[in-house]
A and B are shown apart, each in its own frame.
Chain A
Amino acid sequence: MNRRKMLKAGGAAFLALAPGVRLVDLAVAASKGGSTDHLVRWGMLVDATKCARGCTDCVDACNQEHGLYGKGRAETDAQYIRVVDLQDKATGKTSSLPVMCQHCETAPCVDVCPTGASFRRQDGVVLVDKHTCIGCRYCMLACPYKARSFIHENLTDQVPHTPRGKGTVESCNFCTHRVDRGGTPACVEACESKDHRALVFGDMNDPDSELSRQLKEKSTTQIRSDLNLNTGVRYHGV
């Protein structure tokens, strides 16, 4: 076979593969066998009008669920949810709301990650593959929500469903270990059990879900909506 024939054969093989086959399809097919679905987009609504100032029920539940404990150093202790107090300078109106990973559709952390450790699951949850994370912390710089934490020290007593370790970055994972089994995140469950009902979790793509129904009824906003990140966490009453 001379060079001309070889090129012809190669071109034919390429054309035979190209129509109708996309790498995305291959990736979706490869991931079958799990519970993630590219038609689902998990999201959350935070009704800040129901968030009492000083309430930390969601944060406490999160810390317990993921085995987060501080070393008494607020600047560097890992936190998946932060409670932020706001005050409108013009009117003096105050509000208190939890801020966690917003699970953006176009997540800046995924864009900047040099190793591909930051990724977005096909159901919209943004995660860190800690086996691939090199701890460079570019994602922490890129995140407009200050959602991620870096683990500076050796840890002990990790819980089985949330492996955590020194030298990696982590953040809210929408409690995928619960959601994959049909449950809701720990913060949402805690908020409901304490009868605050400030957090609603569900599928944003399902028009019949409680989340979609409330998003349709209430006026909601995305934090830093100017960045056009299409966040999975929406706020009412901010």
Chain B
Amino acid sequence: MTLDLIIAALMTVVGLTTPILLAGLGELVTEKSGVLNLGVEGMMLMGAISGFAVTVFTFNPWLGVLGAAFGGAASSMLFAVLVLQLNSNQVATGLALTIFGTGLSSLIGLSFVGRIVPPFSSIFPAALSRHPVWQVIFGYSPIVYFALIMVPITAWFLHRTRAGLILRAVGENDHSAHSIGYSVVGVRYAAIAFGGAMAGIGGAYFSMVITPMWAEKMTAGRGWIALALVVFAGWRTGRLLAGAYFFGILMALELYAKAAGFSFMPSQFWAAMPYLMTVAALTIISARGTQGANAPACLGKPFLPST
């Protein structure tokens, strides 16, 4: 293994990890507020097409990312209205959002098929971003750094701020939070919107960075991996970062093993790895007897105030 190869492999891992890290962070905050949104895949696709479309029209990838965040958040609001206002079942509504987002993004995308935008690549000078060694730090799209910065910011918000405390309170015991005067529904709207925006940016990473084009269903199931990631991480931000890179390394290892001609594991097994690992993590957590440690107590339950 040469240094070149290690650096190139690391960069592949970063590319595979960033979208699931973004979507996972958003979903983590949503779930911390007590809402289970299974529509990540649909929101990612909505973000992918929104970001792409805005970039096509404005030639500005920064606006494109904003558009992606908006597209993801807007589609999540549909889910929020159904779940928070009409108290529909969160699991079923989330699945519906995935199907809806897949279909609507395909419909919007019809007029964008076959077009390309310049890739939203590094903003650092070429001397750094193309340097054989330093590219491992400077050679990425701004979205990668955004994702990494959002990890400590999210952790700080959840555990060091008053707003974060309220959000967690709403997720742990919605009736208590309600009885001392916090708006459970308002907090959850905000958390769902944040989850949607982050999923949207994660989706834009596909349509604007990796392959700057639009193709139907181009996220190809990464939303589900992001959902598994949140559980795998036990609803902790630090572990989410580690887990995202662990999943990313697994995905890259599969490709390297195949390209190098190793066949010690059937490839279906590789594809199932993130989910198997999640099952394993859940088993370990529950075997320790700490009751899923960090799973929000109100996760997936509708809020029906008695007063």
Are A and B a genuine interacting pair, yes or no?
A: no
